Amino acid sequence: MNQIDLAGRCAVVTGSAQGIGRAIAARLLASGAQVWLWDIDAALVAETAKDLGDGAHPMRVDVADPDSVEDAAQAVMQQAGQIDILVNNAGISGANAPLWEYPTDEWRRVIEINLNGVFNCCKAVVPFMREVGYGRIVNMASVAGKEGNPNASAYSTSKAGVIALTKSLGKELADLDIAVNCITPAAARTSLFDQMTEEHVAYMLSKIPRERFVALDEIAGMVAWLVSAENSFTTAATFDLSGGRATY
């Protein structure tokens, strides 16, 4: 494991009770950061924080609720006095169905969590970063946001929106030492697979030239560098983690 120096940094990672978010939180902790774990599952995030040990602080947060996010951001500031790093990872895959059969309520739920959740968290945290002129934000997009997966229009649309949001916010903050980037991983084996059909999982795997799913540690490693002080020039960018599927 490459050593990334995050000593003295305070990070927020959403959707960090399990899966990709947990792996990212563990990597940031190993790099010396204090990490606030935001997740809607209060019991699971508390258990995860206990497993991760010193420096992990659990909070029950609903990223789709602006008031919940604002309250959590204020609480972190009261406890730590700073938020240097924000990783917007919380998300759901949503149903698999053709667009003309897609449930309207499910469409709205996916957009609320995957896209509006990123907006809510950035809106709450960015003012604190602007006050000190420093920050690192990484938004979790997806290769689906670049290419569009069939029978996953809501998910693909939400992730395309995350890419566009990243580009806009990165340019708005480019005059400060605040980097805003996103990553576009191929699928990783997490609990999100439980929300998908076997046919959809097989489709995603068939599209990856490396012929495997991305490992959680591979995602966490890329995020660790992107949130470090060494990433001092690149912003508003999209970093590919698709195993060769969509390298643009």
pLDDT at 195: 67
The count of structural domains within the chain is: 1
Could you tell me if residue 117 is inside a domain?
yes
Instruction: Tell me the DSSP string of 20-68.
Output: HHHHHHHHHHHTT-EEEEEES-HHHHHHHHHHH-TTEEEEE--TT-HHH
Across the range 170-193, mean pLDDT stands at: 90
Q: Does the pLDDT of residue 193 top 70, yes or no?
A: no
Q: Does the pLDDT of residue 192 top 70, yes or no?
A: no
Q: How far, in whole angstroms, is CA 174 from its chain's centroid? A: 20
Could you tell me if residue 247 is inside a domain?
no
Could you tell me if residue 4 is inside a domain?
no
The CATH number for 107's domain is 3.40.50.720
Could you tell me if residue 246 is inside a domain?
no
For the segment 23-48, what is each residue's pLDDT rounded down to a tens digit?
999 999 999 999 999 999 999 999 99
Which range marks the domain in which residue 19 is found? 10-241
Could you tell me if residue 215 is inside a domain?
yes
Q: Does the pLDDT of residue 139 top 80, yes or no?
A: yes
Which sequence positions are flagged as catalytic? 155
Could you tell me if residue 2 is inside a domain?
no
For the segment 128-138, what is each residue's pLDDT rounded down to a tens digit?
999 999 999 99
pLDDT at 62: 98
pLDDT band at 203 (very low <50, low <70, confident <90, very high): confident
pLDDT at 212: 87
